[in-house]
Amino acid sequence: MEGSKAQRDFKAGDIIMRQGDKGDYAYIIEEGLVEILIERPDSAPQQVGTRGAGTIIGEMAIVDDAPRTATVKALEDCKMLAISRDDFSQRLKSSDPVIQMISQVILTRYRDTLTRVEILGSSGNHPPAEAIERGYAAQSDVVESVKIANEFKTAIENGDLELHYQPIVDLSNGRVKGFEALMRWTHATEGFISPGIFIPIAEKSGIIVEASKWAVKEACAALNRIETALGNTGEMYMSVNFSSHDFATHGFVDGLKGAIKNGGIRPEQLILEITERLLIQQPDNAKETLQKCREQGIGIAIDDFGTGYSSLSYLYYFPINILKVDQSFVRSLFLDDKSLELVKSIIGLGKNMDLRIIAEGVENREEAHLLTEIGCDTAQGYYFARPMPEDQVIETLSSWKADKLTA
Ligand code: C2E
Ligand code: CA
Ligand code: CA
């Protein structure tokens, strides 16, 4: 038994693990020195190496529960940090699928090599490495996700992405105050792919950064073109979605400034939409980055507000000026009293903290009326308009009737 504590101490001469025993832990040596011994039936144990502080031993135990391939003995008093197979697989599961699969494959190949050179003295009892590797790929949907990620990258390069713009409406007078830019990808053979599918993959693999750079440039320029076509420049805003990867990129704020300048709009006309999750994960210097944006005049909206996190303290910590009430609350406004109370509290909170409120996913007249009644400023949703390509936005807004709220 190797015990279950994360921190383990061994005395000089102790056997830390024995060849042939089942292993559940790998160890990082914090202090001390160990020797690695291979035992053969017909000869004395043979030292094949030593390991000191900062190295890892018994790492195969985090792949499977096959027997230890060597004995490890402390040459000095040692302090070790134990990593269990469960802990490792937990960490692996929460990592990028490509990292997951490559790590598992490397470890499996290592095990396979060990078996082949017959250090074990017998062929062992392991399934073929190829079968195990296929299993890893199947478990994590890695093939599909790498395929989509690669094709998405090509789509950015080929200009196959498009933005659609959904109007955001002032509930006090029914006029359009701005738009949310939503990404659309029409795949050459697969057709329309929902952002609900490609955005999470693009985020996990980091490709989202390229897409976001393109999106913000395109959205700023489109706002200028839309306003010019409608003859009311400088009044409407454009809200663009960002992920935590975007925030971690060097020169993020300069990129925004460039998009604003080249697009020919004012910084006050750009709003960044970020989720609570992004702020809680706190990419390095998120606060500083947001502060810099606010100093430029760029707006910061919390997307899907109310779905991600129970503590509200971050609202004080980060320089936020808009809350977007998640569509799940709007959807259940008439279904349960709790949702109504919750939306009322969000609106109250917003007023107290001087934040603007946008309700998302308004689908009918009743929801629009109720939201207006309880003091919500602005809303977007299919009831007012769906996300549309630029030319359709211009056409729709040229004949926009601000009568949806009096209807
Ligand atoms: P989101 O940011 O919450 O965007 C709102 C989603 O609600 C959009 O879905 C929009 O089409 C949909 N919607 C708007 N009004 C209504 C309504 O009345 N009823 C219902 N049922 N839905 C409505 P979409 O376009 O499929 O986008 C899904 C998600 O993908 C977005 O959710 C956002 O998280 C992400 N996304 C889209 N474009 C981008 C982008 O350019 N960058 C990033 N990072 N994420 C994006
Ligand atoms: Ca959004
Ligand atoms: Ca949202």
d(CA 274, CA 279): 8
Tell me, yes or no, whether 238 and 263 share the same domain. yes
Positions in the chain whose pLDDT score sits under 70: 1-5, 114-134, 136-137, 139-141, 143, 282-284, 309-311, 407
Measured in Å, residue 387 CA sits from the centre of ligand 1 at 9
Q: Whose CA is nearest to atom 10 of ligand 1?
A: 387
Write out the E strands in 145-213. Answer: 161-170, 176-187, 191-193
Tell me, yes or no, whether 23 and 150 share the same domain. no
CA 132 centroid distance within chain: 28
CATH code assigned at 202 = 3.20.20.450
Q: 140, 172, 206 — which closes off a domain? A: 140
Tell me, yes or no, whether 172 and 270 share the same domain. yes
Tell me, yes or no, whether 389 and 288 share the same domain. yes
Residue 162 · residue 186 · CB < 8 Å: yes
Tell me, yes or no, whether 58 and 187 share the same domain. no
Tell me, yes or no, whether 127 and 2 share the same domain. no
Tell me, yes or no, whether 240 and 388 share the same domain. yes
pLDDT at position 116 is 67
pLDDT at position 69 is 83
Which ligand is the nearest neighbour of the Cα of 304? 3
Ligand 1 atom closest to Cα of residue 273: 2
Tell me, yes or no, whether 187 and 69 share the same domain. no
Ligand 1 atom closest to Cα of residue 194: 26
Measured in Å, residue 273 CA sits from the centre of ligand 2 at 6
Tokens of 215: 């999106």
Q: 58, 93, 128 — which closes off a domain? A: 93
Tokens of 45: 């144990």
Tokens of 381: 């949703």
Instruction: Give the number of other Cβ atoms within 10 Å of residue 125's Cβ.
Output: 9
Residue 359 · residue 343 · CB < 8 Å: yes
pLDDT at position 4 is 45
CATH code assigned at 77 = 2.60.120.10
Query: Could you report the per-residue pLDDT of 294-312, keeping only the tens digit for each?
Result: 999 999 999 999 887 666 7
Q: Which residues pair with 164 in a beta bridge?
A: 182
Angle at 360 between CA 356 and CA 363, to 5 degrees: 135
pLDDT at position 226 is 97
Residue 383 · residue 362 · CB < 8 Å: yes
Which structural domain range is residue 130 located in?
95-140
First-to-last CA distance in the chain?
74
Measured in Å, residue 52 CA sits from the centre of ligand 2 at 51
Tell me, yes or no, whether 156 and 77 share the same domain. no
Tell me, yes or no, whether 241 and 307 share the same domain. yes
Q: 140, 173, 204 — which closes off a domain? A: 140
DSSP characters for 314-337?
A: HHHHS---EEEE-HHHHHTTTT-H
Q: Whose CA is nearest to atom 23 of ligand 1?
A: 361
Ligand 1 atom closest to Cα of residue 387: 11
Query: Could you report the per-residue pLDDT of 181-219, keeping only the tens digit for each?
Result: 999 999 888 889 999 999 998 988 888 999 999 999 999
CA 133 centroid distance within chain: 26
Tell me, yes or no, whether 281 and 159 share the same domain. yes
Give the count of domains, the chain: 3
Measured in Å, residue 325 CA sits from the centre of ligand 2 at 10
pLDDT at position 137 is 65
Tell me, yes or no, whether 261 and 136 share the same domain. no
Q: Which residues pair with 80 in a beta bridge?
A: 8, 29
